[in-house]
Amino acid sequence: MTLQTFIIIGRSGSGKGTQADLLQEYIKKQDSETEILYVESGDEFREFLKSDSYSSKLAKEVNTKGELQPAFLAIWVWADYLTKNLNDKKHLILDGTPRKLNEAHVLDGAFSFYKRSNVNVIYINVSEDWATNRLKDRQRSDDTDAGIKKRLDWFDTETIEAIDFYKNNSNYNFFDINGEQSIEEVHNQIVQNLEK
């Protein structure tokens, strides 16, 4: 089977992680022999924040203020993970990256470097109200009302530019998925698009 590469992108609370898990199960059914490298940039960043380095201390200050981390740090998290773990025998799923247009451009260069073509971009499209309700329901420590609003506002000002980059770039297979359905319906819509 040809190596596959996926970006799962969408608002906080859109169900990216859940769909990434289901996508991994789907790929394993199609190709049980090939490993899947799953990069969840949020989890990786939370691990980085637990360290006591000078950089993580400064990043914690940014986090506490509810501000967006600088692009170089976000890029470093996934770039470091890829350089240590990716090879030419693994499918790749990126969840939660990129969050800004400049990250999308850097990631585009990484795909070229790793000879990854036909990248599938799965945009789980949900409204701000829908995402807000989902985030409040999951009750994670950083899901305060103010924190939720900031993250969703970033999406509209920052991430939407990265989404437009993929939507208008013929090197990418872009799928606009209605995320305001049941988990199974969202997964089925993703699979139907991939199998076209």
* Cα distance between residue 172 and residue 124, in whole Å: 16
Position with higher pLDDT, 7 vs 71: 7
pLDDT band at 69 (very low <50, low <70, confident <90, very high): confident
**In angstroms, what CA-CA distances link 96 with 72, 82, 122, 179?**
15, 14, 11, 15
Give yes or no for residue 145 having a pLDDT over 90: no
pLDDT higher than 90, residue 154: no
Q: What is the pLDDT of residues 81-91, one digit of tens each?
A: 999 999 999 99
Say which CATH number the domain at 157 has.
3.40.50.300
Which pLDDT value is given to residue 31?
A: 95
The pLDDT tens digits for 21-41 are 999 999 999 999 999 999 998
Average pLDDT over residues 92-114: 95
For the four alpha carbons of 151, 154, 156 and 158, in that order, the dihedral sign comes to negative
Percent of the chain with pLDDT over 70: 98
pLDDT tier for residue 1 given thresholds of 50, 70 and 90: low
pTM for the predicted model, two decimal places: 0.92
Domain that holds residue 23: 5-194
Q: Are 2 and 121 in contact (CB under 8 A)?
A: no
Q: In what order do the strands lie in the sheet with 5-10?
A: 35-40, 90-95, 5-10, 119-125, 172-178
- Confidence tier at 142 by pLDDT (50, 70, 90): low
* pLDDT over threshold 70, residue 47: yes
State how many domains the chain has.
1
24 sits in the region (left: phi over 0; alpha: psi -120 to 50; else beta) called alpha
The distance of Cα 66 from the centroid of its chain, to the nearest Å, equals: 19
